[in-house]
Amino acid sequence: MLEITVGHGTEDYWTIQEALDAVPYECEARIVVSEGVYREKLFCDKRSLELVGKGKVTVVWDDAARTIMPDGIKRGTFRTYTAFFSGHELRLENMVFRNEAGRGSEAGQALALYLDVDRASLVDVELFGHQDTLFLAPLPEKEREVRGFYGPRFKSPRKLNTVHMKGGRIWGGVDFIFGGADALFEDVEIISNEPGYVSAPSGKKEDIGFIFSSCRFLSEDLEEGSVYLMRPWRPEGKAAFRKCTYDSHINAAGFSPWHGLEGEAPLASFRVDDDRFGVEYMSDGIDADVKALLGRFDA
């Protein structure tokens, strides 16, 4: 395995992007980043990569969807990422990714992290944003707005990806965990910083969708009931919640249809093991989904 260091001292490279660029696509690589704040917009397409922070490592950028580009067109959601990763295997550990574009009502969508990786593991990673903090590809098959998916992979074939996030924190306000991947969030602090919706899954009926296990849903002094756990970005989106704790900002309904597409809501799957939400929960089914998802990392 190729070993590379990044930092502002005697390390191999000064910036993280320089280190990523130095890795051949087919080469397995481990990049260790020394403590510090790195103001960079990262793009990485590598087959097998580990990116590990040594101390507190923060990557920060501030692109926003509503920004007008030189060609006169808005940047759009999927070009706003602070960090983009694609490939076969990825492990991120002890890293912080921030998009500081601002609140969604002003900046629009602003991704901190865009993952399009077959199998991605995130350990003690922190993600900060407001609207659309974390995108887990694939994209839906069709966009609802012209150029709505314009970005790094908008023309690529859709493939199912798998994500496991253990520990860490995610901040956001509107649809701040979204996409079509199968994903397990385990022991993650999920912090709402404005009223809205936590998750917006867009997977298919046969997929697992998003599973939140032993997560803590917190807020930054938001009003009671001002946040929903899920609204489906596409009709068959799925999200399940087990052994989680919820502050009072989480609306007792838990689920909300996508505005203007209420008729699609019955196709979605929303499961939770807390009777405050009044929906059916089948723990055996969720346990089997967790086992199946984690089993993909052993394949």
Q: Is residue 8 part of a domain?
A: no
Convert the pLDDT of each residue in 77-112 to its tens digit.
999 999 999 999 999 999 999 999 999 889 999 999
Q: Is residue 292 part of a domain?
A: yes
The CA–CA distances, whole Å, from 208 to 27, 111, 248, 268 equal 31, 23, 28, 12
Q: Has residue 262 got a pLDDT over 80?
A: no
How would you classify residue 278: left for phi > 0, otherwise alpha for psi between -120 and 50, otherwise beta?
A: left
Decide: 122 and 92 in contact? Cβ < 8 Å.
yes
Q: Is residue 47 part of a domain?
A: no
How many separate domains does the chain show? Answer: 1
Give the helix ranges, DSSP H, for the chain.
16-21, 104-107, 283-295
Q: Is residue 158 part of a domain?
A: yes
Q: Has residue 280 got a pLDDT over 80?
A: no
Q: Residue 41, SS3?
A: coil
Q: Is residue 36 part of a domain?
A: no
Q: Is residue 33 part of a domain?
A: no
For the chain, what percent of residues have pLDDT higher than 90? 82
- Angle CA 232–194–117, to nearest 5: 50
Q: Quick one: tokens of 184?
A: 């397990």
The rounded Cα 282 to chain-centroid distance in angstroms is 25
Convert the pLDDT of each residue in 114-149 to its tens digit.
999 999 999 999 999 999 999 999 999 988 888 889
Convert the pLDDT of each residue in 199-256 to its tens digit.
999 999 999 999 999 999 999 999 999 999 999 999 999 999 999 999 999 999 999 9
Q: Is residue 51 part of a domain?
A: no
Q: Is residue 236 part of a domain?
A: yes
Query: Across the chain, what does the average pLDDT equal?
Result: 94
pTM of the model: 0.96
CATH number where 168 lies = 2.160.20.10
| Structural domain for 97, as ranges | 62-298
